[in-house]
Structure 1
Amino acid sequence: MHASRRQVLHLSAAATGLLAAAAPARAEGALLARRLRPGDTIGLVSPANATFEREPLKMAMEAVQALGFKVKPGQFVAARRGPFAGTDAERAADINAMFADDSVAGILAVTGGSGCNRIVDKLDYDLIKRKPKFLGGFSDLTSLVNAIHRQTGLVTFHCPVAGSEWNDFSVQSFKAVAMNAEAALLRNPVASSGDDLVTRDERISTIRPGRAQGRLVGGNLTVLASLAGSPYFPDCRGAILFLEDINEYIYRIDRCLSTLRLSGALGQLAGVVLGRFTKCEPGEGYGSLTLDEVFDDYFLPLNVPVFRGAAIGHIKRKLTVPVGALAEMDAQAGTIRLLGAAVA
């Protein structure tokens, strides 16, 4: 006897639920890089953008040294072809060379930009899987940290780039996750209202309360959406998706979220963490939805925990978030708790 449409939908929903529930378990076998230690050598690469003056590159190297590391610049880190640090082949070669070099313990991008999508298909993923190492960055590096995790299972890191401001909050979060191998609680800096009656900065807003567990995936929304449909886009089944962006009109944020929804990614999630959407404004025209309205439209129908305002994104004080690590989010408290070490 043929199953009714309701039975088919029920079975399909049950199967989807099983997939979502099973996905986090696979993270237990995730590939972990060795923790970074003082005195280790960090390879500096520039896959996203050229550094157009000598001083910013010098300051990036000084920051890495101040963290307690030695620095090895990539062969093409100071190269330039248009907006990029050399050709696509050269930038990919720098990353592959750093993974191959046994004297290099970890790899950090100098800066963000726009070039990483051009090279995700030029990385040696078999090499990366054989020689797993810390790899970190944010913004355009969203491409690489998600592509490498998807292709190899290696836990990668959405964290400050070498050229970021390394303030105490950013440094302590980085050390806790990447150096001390802590099952860290990722939460915003302690907010202070100063002499104001209410706190205005570092605020968390709960869109839908609740807790959820899953693998952390995500990063810059615009970059992530540009990977949709490719083998480098993250597996979102049962995942906690974190997102941030900068300098995008709200209609473009809407468009990118529609891409994630139409791809089926949003419907597979266990939870959502929204970081800062810096300078994402209406723009010109006949009017715009607000970010509140856009986020409500896309995330409330998912019936999963969602909060907004996490210290993730183009801001001074940043959390280090391990892509591929198991975590539990609490949308009421505005926290992400790692369920184990993200490095070995």
Structure 2
Amino acid sequence: MLPLPAATASAALPARRRAPRLRQGDTVGLIEPAGFTADSFDLDLVLETVRAMGLVPRAAPNILSRHGYLAGTDAERAAPINAMFADSEVRAIFAVRGGWGSARVLPHLDFDVIRANPKLVVGFSDITALHLALAARTDCPTIHGPNAASAWGGLSWDSFRRLAFEGETPTWRNPEGNDDRLAQRSGRIRTFRPGRAAGPLLGGNLTVLSALVGTPWLPDFDGAILFLEDVDEAQYRIDRMLTQLGLAGILGRVAGVVFGQCTNCAASGPSLGGFTLSEVLAHHLTPLGVPAFQGALFGHVADQFSLPVGSRAEIDAAAGTIRMLEPVVG
């Protein structure tokens, strides 16, 4: 583990509320706040995955519902979230999948109930809307990590287990590639500006975050470590969304930036492919004058780190590390 400078020692940080630690045999809720699961056999795999964690899954009533491209109406998708936060038997809440639609449930959530009953909400991609809204309206950290229907390989499971079950404060660093090359090719990082920075981890999917700009569902980004990822977005669209965050004043307030994985982020036509993704990121991140790097293992990839949204962390942009400064569970 990297040494922690005295100026950011965890003992000097203000205490935050924590979610309950997960234990073997705990009941966890399964929600569909966005897209629907079309096949009951897919749900069977999700249930088996949660049971393999040593947990007892409790599916929301809308778990196999369909309303257009959504898993039920907005009210139907929000109701189980409120109910699971209010239910003392449910220790954490897993999103089955993303898609689109989590932002639509935000006006239907009972934030007083949520604030009074802190629990881990686990998921990524469209679930970013829930992470950011809970960070804005409550003091309860959540986990940006695999959805329940994700692959849950060894790296993903170990990362989540150490945070949610063990209550550790680990340091995440990309594993070295095992490809047969003289120089490492996989798992590389690109440093736009070296240095260390500490602050609350805030972010998630860039598309979802940028769509929430101008709404009451975004937290305060002053001094935050902004982390971003995306999928199926051409370079010019990443450019457009980062421009929006810059013009909205968000980029200028953060203490550091980590851009994770951008899967299938390439233009389909030659007229839109003039800049690489790294060049687009350099245009926006280097002038900020804060530590920033690209390539950390989170996003739409088979294995990913779990990141506790709202919890304090320290990044080292030259080393490509994300170090937790406080546990996410009590």
Tell me the CA shift for residue 234 of structure 1.
2.4
C-alpha deviations, 1:28-79, integer Å up to 9, x for none? 3432111111110010001011001111111111101101100100111111
| CA separation of 1:38 and 1:190: change in aligned 2, threshold 3 A | farther
> Deviations along 1:80-115, whole A, 9 cap, x unmatched?
101111100000001111111111100000011101
Conserved in 2, the CA contact under 8 Å of 1:27 and 1:325?
no
Q: Which residues of structure 2 form unaligned runs of 5+?
A: 1-6
Q: Is the 8 A contact 2:17 2:139 kept in 1?
A: yes
Q: Which of 59, 67, 85 in structure 1 is aligned with 2:71?
A: 85
- Give the SS at the match of 2:98: coil
Give distance in 1, aligned partners of 2:106 and 2:268.
Answer: 32
CA distance in 2, matches of 1:93, 1:190: 43
Whether 1:278 and 2:277 are equivalent positions in the alignment is no
Q: Distance in 2 between matches of 1:72 and 1:27?
A: 36
- Give the 3-state SS of the residue equivalent to 1:298 in structure 2: helix
Counterpart of 1:97 in structure 2 is 83
Identity of aligned residues (%): 47
Q: Does 2:167 match 1:181?
A: yes
Who is 1:14 aligned against? none
> Which 5+ residue runs of structure 1 have no aligned equivalent?
1-20
Tell me which structure has the larger Cα radius of gyration. Answer: 1
The answer to whether the 8 Å contact 2:173/2:296 transfers is yes
User: Is the contact between residue 146 and residue 156 of structure 1 (CA under 8 Å) also seen in structure 2?
Assistant: no
Provide TM-score, normalisation by structure 1: 0.91
Aligned residue in 1 for 2:315: 329
Structural mapping, 1:1-344, within 5 Å: 28-193=14-179, 195-284=180-269, 286-287=271-272, 288-344=274-330
What CA RMSD, in Å, does the superposition of the two structures yield over aligned residues?
A: 1.7
The change in CA–CA distance for 1:208 and 1:302 in structure 2 (over 3 A counts) is: same
CA distance in 1, matches of 2:86, 2:265: 39
- Separation of aligned partners in 1, 2:140 and 2:45: 29
Where in structure 1 do 4 or more consecutive aligned residues deviate above 4 Å? 24-27
1:241 & 1:327 partners in 2: Cα distance? Answer: 11
1:25 shift after superposition? 11
8 Å contact kept, 1:169–1:189 = no
Q: Is the 8 A contact 2:298 2:305 kept in 1?
A: yes
Task: Give me the whole-angstrom Cα distance separating, in 2, the residues matched to 1:316 and 1:202.
Answer: 13
TM-score, normalising length: structure 2 = 0.94
Structure 1 residue 140, shift from structure 2 partner: 0.2
Distance of 2:164 and 2:328 partners within structure 1: 7
Give, as a single letter, the amino acid of the residue that structure 1 aligns with 2:74. D
Residues 112, 93 of structure 1: CA spacing in aligned structure 2 closer, same or farther, 3 A cutoff? same
